[in-house]
């Protein structure tokens, strides 16, 4: 019997990611075969510049793959229209959005764009999803503020709320907690975990919060110079895979505390 757990929301087949400039090809990683299952909280970890954002941009159709295929369910990514994709997948990127005079509420309401009618007026359903996203991210106190009045941390929560309002089965976030303090980082991680457990969303995030990722994720995708290692979080901690993330004599992975610790000598 196929359970919800084994239901694959996204998978890649022999994916090769990177950049093509004129006749020059820069390969960042290849032979990538990963799958994301329904209800799973997956963290993508790797050191600076290893290719996490490149992978996320390729999985979300922001940039083309060099080779191979990304499937959303059974359908190849390139054959899905942008409007249909926006109903299946929401994306939170670190890039700043263009300057605007929108209020927080209006920004979040933009998450409903794939569903709104041609004049863009909000239905009762739209309003309910927006209100739920606002309460889930705990930002009711700032909904009347303008975009340019927000701190980086507040803006990050608003962008997550916009993705939640989009109400997709799959949510992909590139370093969603980069500007947040420790309390807000934990809050966001717990929120993402709850979305998976309670609402069976599939959440993929790239992150440098290794300690939080190891405590809360169901699965990991580890990127290092040799390629990708994907699997169950506890397994990758105990089989030593996590310790390969940083090949440096500055830090060592301590599996018992699930942390990289600074070498003292
Ligand atoms: N437009 C581009 N053209 C060519 N190379 C690029 C481009 N964008 C990024 N790169 C290179 O691709 C590699 C991977 O970058 P990427 O941003 O995916 O890493 P990352 O793991 O997300 O890093 P970080 O943790 O620092 O955000 C880097 O060497 C980077 O210089």
pLDDT at 223: 96
Confidence of residue 13 (pLDDT cuts 50, 70, 90): very high
Q: Are 216 and 193 in contact (CB under 8 A)?
A: yes
- Residue 208's nearest CA partner among 95, 96, 94 is 94
Reported pTM: 0.92
Residue 221 Cα to ligand 1 middle (Å): 17
Confidence of residue 4 (pLDDT cuts 50, 70, 90): very low
Ligand 1 pocket, 51 CB below 6 A? yes
Whether the predicted interface score ipTM is above 0.85: yes
b/e map 233-254, b = 16+ CB within 10 Å: beebbeeebbbebbeeeeeebe
Question: With bands split at pLDDT 50, 70 and 90, how would you rate the model's confidence at 221?
Answer: very high
Tally the C-alpha atoms within 13 A of residue 85's C-alpha that lie toward its C-beta.
18
Residue 5: predicted pLDDT:
45
pLDDT for the residue 218: 97
Pocket test for ligand 1, best of 27, 28, 62, 210 (most atoms within 8 A of CB): 28
Q: Please check whether residue 18 is in contact with residue 44, taking contact to mean a CB–CB distance below 8 angstroms.
A: no
Q: Percent of the chain scored above 90 by pLDDT? A: 68
Confidence of residue 3 (pLDDT cuts 50, 70, 90): very low
**Beta carbon of 53 within 6 Å of any ligand 1 atom:** yes
65-69, 125-129, 164-168, 176-180: least confident range: 176-180
Query: Given this model, what pLDDT does residue 217 score?
Result: 96
| Phi and psi, residue 66, nearest 5° | -80, -40
pLDDT, one tens digit per residue, over 107-151 is 999 999 888 866 668 889 999 999 999 998 889 999 999 988 888
Question: Where do the DSSP E strands lie in 120-263?
Answer: 170-174, 202-206, 219-224, 227-232, 251-254, 259-262
Contact (CB, 8 A) for 202 and 39: yes
The architecture in CATH of the region 4-95+169-262 reads: 3-Layer(aba) Sandwich (3.40)
How many angstroms does the Cα of residue 92 sit away from the middle of ligand 1?
Answer: 17
pLDDT at residue 255 greater than cutoff 50 = yes
Name the closest-CA residue to atom 6, ligand 1. Answer: 19
Residue 92 clears pLDDT 80, i.e. is over it: yes
- pLDDT at residue 68 above 70? yes
Domain ranges of the chain: 4-95+169-262
Banded model confidence at residue 152, pLDDT cuts 50, 70, 90: confident
């Amino acid at each position: 019997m196929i359970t919800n757990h084994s239901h694959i929301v996204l998978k890649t087949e022999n994916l090769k990611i990177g950049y093509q400039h004129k006749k020059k090809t820069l390969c960042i990683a290849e032979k990538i075969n990963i799958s994301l299952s329904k209800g799973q909280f997956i963290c993508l970890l790797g050191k600076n510049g290893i290719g996490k954002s490149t992978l996320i941009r390729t999985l979300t159709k922001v940039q083309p793959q060099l080779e191979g295929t990304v499937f959303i369910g059974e359908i190849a990514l390139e054959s899905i229209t942008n409007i249909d994709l926006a109903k299946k997948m929401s994306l939170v990127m670190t890039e700043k959005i263009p300057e605007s005079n929108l209020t927080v509420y209006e920004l979040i309401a933009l998450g409903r764009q794939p569903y709104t009618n041609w004049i863009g007026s909000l239905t009762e359903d739209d309003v309910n999803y927006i209100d739920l996203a606002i309460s889930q991210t705990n930002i009711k106190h700032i909904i009347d503020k303008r975009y340019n009045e927000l701190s980086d941390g507040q803006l990050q929560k608003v962008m997550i709320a916009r993705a939640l309002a989009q109400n997709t089965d799959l949510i992909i976030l590139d370093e969603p907690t980069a500007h947040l303090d420790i309390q807000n980082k934990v809050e966001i991680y717990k929120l993402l975990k709850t979305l998976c457990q309670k609402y069976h969303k599939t959440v993929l995030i790239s992150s440098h919060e290794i300690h939080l990722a190891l405590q809360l994720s169901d699965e990991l995708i580890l990127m290092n110079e040799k390629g990708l290692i994907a699997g169950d979080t506890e397994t990758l901690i105990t089989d030593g895979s996590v310790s390969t993330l940083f090949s440096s004599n500055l830090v060592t992975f301590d599996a018992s505390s699930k942390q990289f610790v600074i070498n003292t000598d």
